Amino acid sequence: MTGASQPLTAQEMMAMEHALLLAGQGVRGANPLVGAVILDDDGAMVASGAHLGAGTDHAEVAALKNAVQQGIDPAGCTMVVTLEPCNHTGRTAPCTEALLAAGISRVVYAAADPNPEAAGGAARLAGQGIDVAGGLLADAATELNRRWLAAVRARRPFVTVKVAQSLDAQSAAADGSSQWITGPHARADGHSIRARVDAVLVGTGTVLADNPRLTARALDGADAARQPLRVAVGLRDVPADAAMRGDRFVHLSTHDPVAALDDLYRRGVRHVLIEGGPQLVGVFLMADLADELFAYVAPMLLGTGVPAFQRLGVATLADAHVWRLDPDGAAAVTQLGDDVRLHFKPIAP
Ligand code: AOF
Ligand code: ZN
């Protein structure tokens, strides 16, 4: 804990847990997930807000507006927020100034702002006489934005690769049929990953072979606007009637994974999911651009078929791409119905 002149209260800790939950309901993309809760003099939660994506109100401003809507004057209240309030004018005005204007008297935040342009909010507020405490549940706040933070540091989207394969590592049978290798539980799990990313990528070969929709079924209905960007990568044309075409569709006519990621980063994409086919997966693995791998393995043998991983450039054992089961995750190995999901991380260089 840094800079606190007043000790943290139990209500502030509970408020931070609530703010983390609110943050998790937000929309990622160019900005991190952030939640905020306003506590009155007695430590009661009186208002809250979450950041809903670049260009919309930051969590603190959303919470202040929520208070005003309820006829509550936030002057003298405490703002509990999962990220250090920003101190810059980006797409929106600085939260520091909004907090000062509203007369907030204490700010409790979790993680520091990793964006050098926006950082400095804690010092600015403390300099104006506001009681500021940082670091409460910082690990949880950092975990929530772990992939986003890695992307911002690397200045390219975080890359998740997902493959569904038979026990003998085929992604399709010899005649190309591939529709139901894994069962419904594994497929539902794959859809929940789609729902958490900013963009889903497939090669143009896969578009022609499988004509996937690439929507996250979990987001159908009220959350439809949060569907990931659907991206076809490759030099072949995407048919006008391809199922993946729609509002959130782009075709990147390149074979260069660095160029593709760069283009997407500039569009505000911070997390991509590579869904195949085997050649696109190989291109990203060969370029050392995969940050994690989910392999869904079905208890089925297909003999000769379509290998799930291709173009890996492995001629001898020393060339093998070696992964390790996610050392931090409790869910490194998960049974999903009759299938198994394996979650791998690259071995640090
Ligand atoms: C906050 N509260 O809820 C968020 C913050 O372009 P803008 O104006 O949206 O600013 C984006 C930057 O602001 C982003 O990179 C990060 O540093 C910070 N995000 N800050 O005080 C919020 N989402
Ligand atoms: Zn802000």
Pocket test for ligand 1, best of 61, 66, 83, 91 (most atoms within 8 A of CB): 83
Is residue 118, in this structure, part of any structural domain at all? yes
Q: Among 346, 347, 31, 349, which residue's Cα sits nearest to residue 159?
A: 346
Q: Please give the number of the atom of ligand 1 that sits closest to the Cα of 33.
A: 23
Q: Where a domain ends, among 133, 152, 171?
A: 152
In a domain, 2, yes or no: no
The C-alpha atoms of residue 105 and residue 102 are separated, in whole angstroms, by 9
Residues in the annotated binding site for NADP(+): 164, 180, 210
Give yes or no: 17 in active site.
no
CA of residue 214 to ligand 2 center, whole Å: 33
From the CA atom positions of the chain, what is the Rg in Å?
Answer: 23
Q: Which helix (H) or strand (E) holds 171?
A: strand 170-173
Q: Residue 328: its pLDDT value, please?
A: 78
Q: Are residues 300 and 188 in the same domain?
A: yes
- 242, two tokens: 């391809």
Annotated binding-site positions for Zn(2+): 58, 86, 95
Q: Which atom of ligand 1 is nearest to the CA of 36?
A: 3
Q: Are residues 136 and 166 located together in one domain of the fold?
A: no
Classify residue 92: in a domain, yes or no. Answer: yes
The burial class, CB within 10 Å (0-12 / 13-18 / 19+), for 2 is: exposed
β-pairing verdict for 158-166 and 170-173: unpaired
Atom 10, ligand 1: residue with shortest CA distance? 90
For the chain, the domain total comes to 2
Say if residue 291 is in the same domain as residue 221. Answer: yes
In this structure, the answer to whether residues 220 and 330 fall within a common structural domain is: yes
Q: Same domain for 140 and 162?
A: no
Residue where a domain stops, chosen among 127, 152, 177: 152
Quick one: 304 exposed, middle or buried, by C-beta within 10 A (0-12, 13-18, 19+)? Answer: exposed
Residue type, 25: Q
**Residue to mutate, 58, 108, 142, 145, ligand 1, most ligand atoms under 8 Å from C-beta:** 58
Is residue 4 a part of any domain in this protein? no
Q: What is the DSSP secondary-structure string of 304-329?
A: SEEESS------SGGG---EEE-SS-
Q: Residue 176 has which token pair?
A: 């190309």
- Considering the domain boundaries, does residue 127 fall inside one? yes
Ion ligand 2 residue ranges (Cβ < 5 Å): 58, 86, 95
What's residue 302's pLDDT?
96
pLDDT at 36: 98
Which pLDDT value is given to residue 1?
46
pLDDT given at position 330: 80
Question: Domain range holding 56?
Answer: 10-152
Q: Are residues 299 and 216 in the same domain?
A: yes
Interface predicted TM-score of the whole assembly (ipTM), two decimals: 0.95
Helices 59-69 and 10-24, packing angle to 10 deg: 110
Output the pLDDT for position 126: 97
Structure tokens at 28: 């990622």
Tracing tokens 């309901």 back to the chain, one arrives at 25
Same domain, 112 and 184: no
116 is a domain residue: yes
Dihedral of the alpha carbons of 230, 196, 151, 270, in degrees to the nearest 10:
40
Question: According to the model, what pLDDT value does residue 28 have?
Answer: 80
**Residue 187: CATH number of its domain:** 3.40.430.10
pLDDT for position 99 = 98
**Same structural domain, 142 and 201:** no
Are both 216 and 249 inside the same structural domain?
Answer: yes
d(CA 64, CA 70): 10
Helices 59-69 and 95-102, packing angle to 10 deg: 30
> CB–CB of 197/226 below 8 Å?
no
Cis peptide before 282 (omega within 30 of 0): no
The predicted structure's pLDDT at residue 315: 94
Other beta carbons within 10 angstroms of residue 31's beta carbon come to 27
pLDDT score recorded for residue 87: 96
Q: What is the pLDDT along the chain (349 residues), one digit of tens a residue?
A: 444 568 999 999 999 999 999 999 888 889 999 999 999 999 999 999 999 999 999 999 999 999 999 999 999 999 999 999 999 999 999 999 999 999 999 999 999 998 889 999 999 999 999 999 999 999 999 999 999 999 999 999 999 999 999 999 999 999 988 888 999 999 999 999 998 999 999 999 999 999 999 988 878 777 777 889 999 999 999 999 999 998 899 999 999 999 999 999 999 999 999 998 999 999 999 999 999 999 999 999 999 999 999 999 999 999 999 999 998 778 999 999 999 999 999 987 5
The answer to whether residue 287 is domain-embedded is yes
